[in-house]
């Protein structure tokens, strides 16, 4: 039993060849609908893959999702309705671009917020530098004088 299972799995692995990402038979006849399907697919995650969208993925599940997206579009759903339908079925994990709901606003705002803070900090620093007094150069101590001479001698050679 066990051995047969292993053989079957091995066989399945060797036969499940590179199923293509989007297959010719999936493509819709209406180019406008197909274009929308492609655009939507790029923002949807293949749930069993690692960080791949369903448009690029070779996995069988991705194909199912692609067909599902097209089915909904043919049925007359708007883009938002298709997304809502998929989120409803698979959870927000399916969205490659996370929503802004809940604490997610922090994810979206993190960059701009830090940028504003850093620009402010930078401006304060620059004004400080512009107003600072020119430094009085400290004289080299004896040790530094000697090292300086050493280095200068060396690079002359």
Partner 1 sequence: MVTELGHFALILAFLVACVQAVVPMIGASRRLPGWMAVAEPAATAQLLLVAGSFAALTHAFIVSDFSLRLVVLNSHSAKPLLYKISGVWGNHEGSMLLWVLILALFGAMAAWFGGNLPPTLRARVLSVQAMVGVAFYAFILWTSNPFLRLETPPFDGQDLNPLLQDPGLAFHPPFLYLGYVGLSICFSFAVAALIEGRVDAAWGRWVRPWTLLSWVMLTIGIALGSWWAYYELGWGGFWFWDPVENASFMPWLLAAALLHSAIVVEKREALKSWTILLAILAFGFSLIGTFIVRSGVLTSVHAFATDPERGVFILAILVIFTGGALTLYAARAGIMQAKGVFGVVSRESALVANNILLAVACFVVFVGTLWPLVAEMAFDRKLSVGAPFFNMAFTPFMVILGLLLPLGSLLGWKRGKVGRAMRQLAPALALAVAVGALFWTMQTGRSLLGPIGMFLGTWLICGAVIDILSKLGQSRDLRRLARLPRADWGRVVAHAGLGVTMAGIAGLMAWQEEDIRAASLNEPFTVGAYEITLLDVQRIQGPNWFADQGEVSVRKADGQGGEIAHLYPQKRTYPVAKMPTTEAAIDYRFLRDIYVVLGDRQQDGGWTMRVYVKPLANWIWGGAFLMALGGALSLSDRRFRVAAGARKAAPAKGVPAE
Work out how close the CB of 86 gets to partner 1 at its nearest, in angstroms, rounded to a whole number. 12
Work out how close the CB of 99 gets to partner 1 at its nearest, in angstroms, rounded to a whole number. 8
C-alpha closest to that of 56 among 91, 20, 26: 20
The answer to whether residues 81 and 94 touch, using CB atoms and an 8 Å cutoff, is no
Residues 80-139 that bind partner 1 (CB under 8 A): 91-98, 102-104, 107-108, 110-111, 114-115, 118-119, 122-123, 125-127, 129-130, 132-135
In this structure, what token pair is assigned to residue 41? 């697919």
The answer to whether residues 54 and 41 touch, using CB atoms and an 8 Å cutoff, is yes
Kindly report the CA angle at 101 between 105 and 50, in degrees rounded to 5? Answer: 85
- Residue 33 touching partner 1 (CB under 8 A): no
What angle, 0 to 180 degrees and rounded to 10, lies between the N-to-C axes of helices 60-74 and 79-90?
140
# chain residues binding partner 1, by CB under 8 A: 56
Residues of the shown chain interacting with partner 1 in the complex, contacts defined by CB under 8 A: 10, 13-14, 17-25, 27, 42-43, 45, 50-53, 56, 91-98, 102-104, 107-108, 110-111, 114-115, 118-119, 122-123, 125-127, 129-130, 132-135, 147, 151, 154-155, 157
């Amino acid at each position: 039993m066990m051995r047969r299972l292993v053989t079957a799995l091995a066989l399945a692995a060797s036969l499940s060849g590179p199923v293509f990402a989007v297959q010719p038979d999936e493509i819709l006849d209406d180019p406008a609908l197909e274009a929308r399907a492609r655009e939507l697919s790029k923002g949807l995650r293949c749930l069993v893959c690692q960080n791949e969208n369903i448009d690029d993925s070779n996995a069988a599940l991705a194909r199912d999702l692609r067909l599902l997206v097209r089915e909904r579009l043919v049925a007359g759903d708007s883009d938002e309705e298709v997304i809502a339908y998929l989120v409803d079925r698979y959870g927000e994990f399916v969205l490659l671009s996370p929503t802004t709901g809940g604490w997610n606003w922090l994810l979206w705002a993190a960059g701009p917020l830090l940028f504003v803070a850093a620009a402010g900090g930078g401006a304060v620093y620059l004004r400080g530098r512009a107003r600072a007094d020119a430094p009085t150069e400290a004289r080299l101590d004896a040790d530094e004088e000697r090292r300086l001479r050493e280095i200068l001698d060396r690079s002359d050679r």
